[in-house]
Amino acid sequence: MKVKVGINGYGTIGKRVATAVNQQDDMEIIGVTKTRPTYEAQLAIQMGYPLYVPADKVDDFKAAGLDIAGTVDDLISKADIIVDCTPGKVSGEYKEAYAKAGVKAIWQGGEDHSLTGISFNAAANYKESWGAQFSRVVSCNTTGLLRTLYPIDKNFKIKNGYVSLIRRSADPNDSKAGPINAIEPVVKIPTHHGPDVQSVLPWISIQTMAVKVPTTLMHIHTVVLELEKETTTEEIIKLLKETPRVKLVKAKDGVKSTAQIMDLAREIGRTRGDMFEIVVWEDGIKVVGNTLYYYQAVNQESDVIPENIDCIRSMCKLEEDPAKSIAKTNKAMGI
Ligand code: NAD
């Protein structure tokens, strides 16, 4: 018996989670939701996903000639688990409906930790979501930070972390967001990213600052970590090479920017040209005294996708061993 997964909000994250779920052998998509009869709704139907819509929008979809399978409430009543990929601060609205139907639900990083009380990263705290009714996969940036901070802390103990985030201002399919010709600092310090890392690893001391820049491809983090245990540049390179979902590249091989990273993802045949791994520049890693410096890049549209799959496995008690779930997800997704 496969776990029945519904996607509420078939947008940037929702459509990727749908693809990844159907690549696994222990779960399947039973339906997705859209609020408007857009090209994405048409594509969902073409992909063979039963389409569910809000009760007050049924007529809009019928008028647009789209075949729907039922209402959002119908999908909620049929699913074992809903992956809620509605825009940030919207999905809290559905909590009551999920609770009433007794269905499990995963929210994304646009929601606050307080909505679920549990936040998820596969390597760092898989077991905290074990059997839970509600959990939350942290945002793209927080997932990126946790992927490298967790193994470094485990091996060398982070005393203090200082991270500057250079954030893409819009996703590639978004023609409304900006800035398009400016650099915009987030003046509230620390930005939400540091406290969000602490929602998974509460003992980590970390300060974060962020600026938005006019690009759509990826975020970049510049990371400075004071470590308690002595280490070397070579040891850190070895550790990150062995870390799942972290990929090392070299500027000296021509991977000088986010443009070449996304080209790499397309060339290796990834679905939608996605780079699910956090990409660290090997020749940009340096240990000086007890301080480690490195740069990493985050493909915001896709790094959280494998985490959603592992979160489903933990919440639905499909695999107790985090490492086995990570390996299974990676194999199925070609990571
Ligand atoms: P999106 O706007 O691309 O997609 C959201 C989808 O939800 C759309 O299909 C829209 O039709 C639907 N929707 C809108 N209002 C709804 C409502 N009231 N009820 C049901 N469905 C509704 O958004 P996204 O980028 O996929 O983001 C989804 C979540 O994932 C957010 O919490 C976001 O913060 C988080 N996230 C986004 C990114 C990213 O870079 N895009 C990365 C990581 C996490």
Atom index in ligand 1 nearest the CA of residue 89 equals: 32
Interatomic CA distance for residues 171 and 215, integer angstroms: 8
Ligand 1: which of 36, 86, 216 to mutate, judged by most atoms within 8 Å of the beta carbon?
86
Identify which has the larger pLDDT, 300 or 92: 300
Interatomic CA distance for residues 122 and 127, integer angstroms: 9
Atom index in ligand 1 nearest the CA of residue 143 equals: 43
Residue 3 above 90 pLDDT?
yes
Residue 126 above 90 pLDDT?
yes
Over residues 320-335, the pLDDT tens digits come to: 999 999 999 999 999 9
Nearby residues of 56 by Cβ (< 8 Å), 6 or more positions away: none
Which pLDDT value is given to residue 91?
64
HSE-up of residue 178 (Cα within 13 Å, Cβ side): 6
Strand order in the sheet with 3-8: 70-71, 51-53, 27-33, 3-8, 81-84, 104-107, 134-137, 119-120
Residue nearest to atom 19 of ligand 1 (CA): 86
Secondary structure of residue 167 in the 3-state scheme: strand
CA of 92 to the centre of ligand 1 (A): 12
- Geometric angle at alpha carbon 11, from 7 and 13, rounded to 5°: 75
Rg of the chain over Cα atoms, rounded to whole angstroms, equals: 20
Residue 93 above 90 pLDDT?
no
Interatomic CA distance for residues 314 and 60, integer angstroms: 37
Over residues 14-62, the pLDDT tens digits come to: 999 999 999 999 999 999 999 999 999 999 999 999 999 999 999 999 9
CA of 265 to the centre of ligand 1 (A): 23
- Mean model confidence pLDDT for the chain: 97
Q: Which residues line ligand 1 (CB under 6 A)?
A: 8-14, 33-35, 85-88, 90, 108-111, 139-140, 171, 300-301, 304
Residue 309 above 70 pLDDT?
yes
Residue 278 above 90 pLDDT?
yes
pLDDT band at 90 (very low <50, low <70, confident <90, very high): confident
Residue 218 above 80 pLDDT?
yes
Interatomic CA distance for residues 212 and 97, integer angstroms: 35
Which pLDDT value is given to residue 89?
81
Q: Can you tell me the mean pLDDT for 188-193?
A: 96
Interatomic CA distance for residues 314 and 320, integer angstroms: 7
Q: What is the DSSP string of 175-191?
A: SS---SS--EE--SSS-
Q: Which two tokens stand for residue 40?
A: 């994405």
Q: What is the DSSP string of 83-137?
A: EE-SPTTTGGGGHHHHHHHT-EEEE-TTS-GGGTS-EE-HHHHGGGGTT-SEEEE
Say what the pTM is.
0.98
Interatomic CA distance for residues 95 and 78, integer angstroms: 16
Residue 100 above 90 pLDDT?
yes
140 part of the active site: yes
Residue nearest to atom 14 of ligand 1 (CA): 86
